[in-house]
Structure 1
Amino acid sequence: MRKITLFIASSLDGYIARQSGEVDWLFTDQDYGYTEFFAQIDTVVMGSKTYQQLLGFGEYPYKGKKGFVFSKTIENETDENVTFVRSNWQEFINTLRQASGPDIWLVGGAQIIYYFLQHGFIDELILSIHPIILGDGIPLIVKDPNLEISLELKTVKTYDSGLLQASYDLKRKPTNII
């Protein structure tokens, strides 16, 4: 079965973007393991807000990878970069995981991360924690008192910039599967 990895960055206080969606605070001075990780996957999955934000950055950054955008509102089935998944998300993800090929990257954002956590679809979390406190923004994890998932620490890397990157395996699947 293909592994789904959430490879993402957050502020020290747990935000993945400002409320506006801006990520201008992210470090771009080094690779931080991105190139090596990107070479190990052939599929990217994301929510529609993340996809729309990526299009605003200029050229689509994941060309050459299969891309899927989970959205209940976008009417298209495909565009030049991705296929849109509008329904039967659990079935689609299970089928995708069973297909042959390298691992899958869950790019973001917060709502699709929450959905994947709720349903036990994330196998690995690689979190790059930037040494900045934003005070407000879009949280990495949507608050839900019923969402409790144990993680097993695999590695921790530190960088001269102050960035800390922790890799975890999800030890058990969530108990509130919907």
Structure 2
Amino acid sequence: MGAGGTALSGGARHRRAAARAAGRPRLSYPSGTLRGMDVSFTGSVFLGMSVDGFIARLDGDLSWLTGGGETGGGETGGAPDDGDGGDFGFAEFLSGIDALVMGRATYEFIAPFADWPYRGKPVHVLSTSLPAGADPRITVHRSLDEAVTALDAAGYRRVYVDGGRTVHAFLAAGLVADLTLSRIPVLIGTGLTPFGELAADVPLEHVGTRSFAGGMVQSTYRVRR
């Protein structure tokens, strides 16, 4: 949910954007028509979450993720690092991405940032309400089908899929090839999840796991076809 910037899913502010996006009603993405479609790109997911699988509390709060406890954690402060001043591999991940696709709410939170986190990367936004051409940094699509067709036509090889509902839609459509999930050592009991119900199981192959100072464990999975 989420989510550029530096640490985990693109930094504390971006992760907060994705969390808020996951909890808002918005564009309903069809999930069945694209399954099995032969496209030029693969979708990649990079998310931070609690051990019990939530990317934010129900109200979008991320203080547990940034170490602020129940009430701490600001929009710009508290972002975790990997113990060596690094970003848990997010910059390396982003360097291998050709383009991004996200939902409207995630985009609208990121849009005002003075430092646009995806400079040089095409950003595609799923929205029925954003005016086309409103922001030269993005391309707006009215449906999942339209977005996938555009991503395919552009010849992208690897696309970063971000935002809770967008991740779920691409998973359901069979368009995600790999997921990197960074689990923070905390249980929050309930919250927002990027996965939700799926028409069928999505079998995964474990690629690798590494741990960081502070107890975060990051695992990468490949979707088995």
Q: Which TM-score band applies after superposition, normalised by the shorter structure?
A: 0.7 to 0.9
Question: Is the 8 Å Cα contact of residues 40 and 102 (structure 1) preserved in structure 2?
Answer: no
Deviation for aligned residue 1:120: 0.5
Quote the residue 2:155 is aligned against: 100
CA distance in 2, matches of 1:151, 1:7: 15
Quote the residue 1:116 is aligned against: 170
Q: Structure 2: which 5+ runs fail to align?
A: 1-39, 67-78
CA distance in 1, matches of 2:101, 2:123: 6
CA distance in 2, matches of 1:29, 1:145: 33
What pairs with 1:1-178 in structure 2 (closer than 5 Å)?
1-24=40-63, 25-26=65-66, 27-30=79-82, 31-55=87-111, 59-87=115-143, 89-97=144-152, 99-108=154-163, 110-142=164-196, 144=197, 146-172=199-225
Identity of aligned residues (%): 30
Moved over 3 A (4+): 55-59, 75-78, 97-102
Q: Which amino acid aligns with 1:45?
A: V
Deviation for aligned residue 1:56: 5.9
Q: 1:22 to 1:74 in 2, by over 3 A?
A: farther
Q: Can you list the C-alpha shifts for 1:50-70, whole angstroms capped at 9, x where unaligned?
A: 222323665332122100111
Deviation for aligned residue 1:101: 4.4
Q: Structure 1: which 5+ runs fail to align?
A: 173-178
- RMSD in angstroms over aligned alpha carbons? 2.1
CA distance in 1, matches of 2:119, 2:207: 30
More strand by share: 1
Quote the residue 2:11 is aligned against: none
CA distance in 2, matches of 1:86, 1:145: 22
How many pairs were matched up? 169
CA distance in 1, matches of 2:58, 2:94: 27
